[in-house]
Structure 1
Amino acid sequence: MPDESLPAAAPLRVMTFNVKFDDVDDPRAAWAGRRAAVADQITASGAGVVALQEVLAGQRDDLAADLPDYTVLGVGRDDGARAGEAVPLLVRSDLTVLDGGTFWLSATPESPSGFNAGALPRICTWAHVRLPGDEVPGRGLHVWNVHLDHLDESLRRRQLAVVHRRTRAVAARGAGPAHVLLGDFNAGPRSTTLTDTRQAGWQEARSTSRALPTGPAGTFHDWTPGAALEEANARIDHVFVRGGVTVHAYETVRPTTAVIPSDHFPVVVDVTVPA
């Protein structure tokens, strides 16, 4: 029998969703035609924390207006303000943001930069959130949202190593053990990037879910949703947990609307955070 004198673990649904930047030269990707579908997808998910990728400043403004129950955290990667893509976190109003920010996946994480001169800058937006009913100071959940390089595996590994160092630094400060790392890794299930992540102490949500994962095998479909249904190598959007976070359910969501919201499927994961 469970010890009823102990507080119950706090439940939370998290979501990662590459919404595709506003590409006015591609009718499929032009934001004006997809904006409502993306907002509806996020609302329907019921997620408390949503990690987005490829979000330009205008898209960020629109989502903040369309989703008033969420606080939008994050900055553009080109200047630390509005220029370039962001990887924002949306945090629902019943959660409290204790801390957060954005850093660059480079040798100089505090300023706009990259490891390679020719590569796009990449960033991580993070937040330390407290769940409803949790009044223990400093506990909560740390959420780390990334979008790694799309071309170079060695560069992806270096970028993710910056995140691993940050999460270890947080643990060293005693700021709560529970963490979720999620986003567009641009790396398949058998990649060295994901192997590095497992070796750094992270558990893959899909493989540790108590319920069988549901939905398509892949997440990137390039505007042809049927393409990723059975292709596990197209699973490049991932969720990892550590610090006692339990994964109860994992779903890759295939939208059923006439308008395709993005060239990626979102991933939704139900977790409980240690009380």
Structure 2
Amino acid sequence: MKPNLYTKMFLCGTLLLAGACSDDDEKPKKSTNISVVSFNIRVDNPVDGDNVWENRKAAAVTMIEYEQPTLIGLQEAQPHQITYLAKNCPDYAWYGLGRDTGECPPETDSYAAEECMAIFYKTSEVELLDKGTFWLSPTPDVPSKGWDAGYNRSCTWGFFRHKPSGRNFYFLNTHLDNSGTEARKRSLQLIAEKAKEFNSEAHPMFLTADFNSDTDETIFAPLFRVMHDARKLATITDDRATFNGYKETATRKLDHIFFSNCLAYRFKTLTQNYGAPYISDHYPIKGLFVIPRTK
């Protein structure tokens, strides 16, 4: 049986990975390394009691400082949360539009409700070349609610240049609807179509999201035709649940990282204490990838 494309890339990448250890501090060669975090930050909601944003926000910064991801896909991020992270993580710039207005969230220290699927990126490692947002609906070019979704849902994308290697790549970040079964199915079909449309030149591509679904569901079939599940294919990985609901026992894997045209070295669910018992009602997840130096 002929090896598939990912297998071929894995075999070709063996030399790059040979010197890498399991610790995040000892990674594959810097020239080809990209680390990605997906993080449902959880809206600022007073019903969370001791786990309100005010008690978690410093821990969110600590996580970013400790993990040092190249890119972060945030879900549920509100303007004042984005403002706090931007002020306290000066190594990062960000892009995103409000899911309801389609406008850039304002810089504010006061509570602001509209959610944004923001992308944070480390400016020393990557340069943003192009960007955009589409909505998960039959009218993706305008803020809109799709199918049986309970809320407007959007997908933020960026086209980046990786400074150490010179390679360009795409990064997408989204949040599927929590209540609309048909919406989740159609949203994944749309994302898969957009991924093919964007990436005709076969650049490396990453997708982060709270999918509100586990990848064993049939709705992921269109996405699996164009991208891979980092949790399943990473050389070093775990199978921990990501939704914890502020309880010690997490129950469901709802957060995933997909990728294409590169190698997944490590996948990790970030369950440690960064200064608060729970950084969110979801654990962040992190993927470490090796991109080819040249096409």
User: What TM bracket, shorter-length normalisation?
Assistant: 0.7 to 0.9
Give a deviation string over 1:161-207, Cα, whole Å, max 9, x none: 221121111123x3x52111111000013212233321x22111111
Counterpart residue identity of residue 113, structure 1: S
C-alpha displacement of 1:29: 4.1
Counterpart residue number, 1:272: 290
How do 1:65-214 and structure 2 match up within 5 A? 65-81=87-103, 82=105, 84-94=114-124, 95-116=126-147, 119-135=150-166, 139-172=167-200, 174=201, 176-198=202-224, 200-211=225-236, 213-214=237-238
Q: Cα RMSD between the aligned structures?
A: 2.1
Counterpart residue identity of residue 210, structure 2: D
| Runs (4+) off by over 3 Å | none
Counterpart residue number, 1:252: 269
Counterpart residue number, 1:222: 245
> Is this contact kept in 2: 1:210–1:248, CA < 8 A?
yes
Go from structure 1 to structure 2 and tell me whether the alpha carbon gap of 1:258 and 1:61 turns closer, same or farther (over 3 Å shift).
Answer: closer
Go from structure 1 to structure 2 and tell me whether the alpha carbon gap of 1:98 and 1:238 turns closer, same or farther (over 3 Å shift).
Answer: same
Query: Under a length normalisation based on structure 1, what TM-score does the superposition of the two structures give?
Result: 0.87
Q: What secondary structure is seen at the aligned counterpart in 2 of 1:110?
A: coil
Counterpart residue identity of residue 235, structure 1: K
**Partners of 2:215 and 2:197 in 1: CA distance:** 27
**Partners of 1:237 and 1:126 in 2: CA distance:** 18
> Is this contact kept in 2: 1:50–1:89, CA < 8 A?
yes
**Partners of 1:190 and 1:152 in 2: CA distance:** 18
> Is this contact kept in 1: 2:195–2:226, CA < 8 A?
no
Q: What secondary structure is seen at the aligned counterpart in 2 of 1:26?
A: helix
Counterpart residue number, 1:47: 69
Give a deviation string over 1:113-141, Cα, whole Å, max 9, x none: 01237620000011111112334xxx411
Unaligned runs of 5+ in 1: none
**Partners of 1:118 and 1:154 in 2: CA distance:** 8
> Is this contact kept in 2: 1:37–1:259, CA < 8 A?
no
**Partners of 1:166 and 1:51 in 2: CA distance:** 18
Go from structure 1 to structure 2 and tell me whether the alpha carbon gap of 1:170 and 1:189 turns closer, same or farther (over 3 Å shift).
Answer: closer
> Is this contact kept in 1: 2:94–2:118, CA < 8 A?
yes
Q: What secondary structure is seen at the aligned counterpart in 1 of 2:249?
A: helix
Give a deviation string over 1:3-50, Cα, whole Å, max 9, x none: 99xxx8611110001010000233244221111111111221110001
Go from structure 1 to structure 2 and tell me whether the alpha carbon gap of 1:210 and 1:84 turns closer, same or farther (over 3 Å shift).
Answer: same
**Partners of 2:222 and 2:198 in 1: CA distance:** 19
Deviates more, 1:14-23 or 1:115-124: 115-124
Q: Number of residue pairs matched?
A: 257
Q: What secondary structure is seen at the aligned counterpart in 2 of 1:227?
A: coil
**Partners of 2:132 and 2:37 in 1: CA distance:** 19
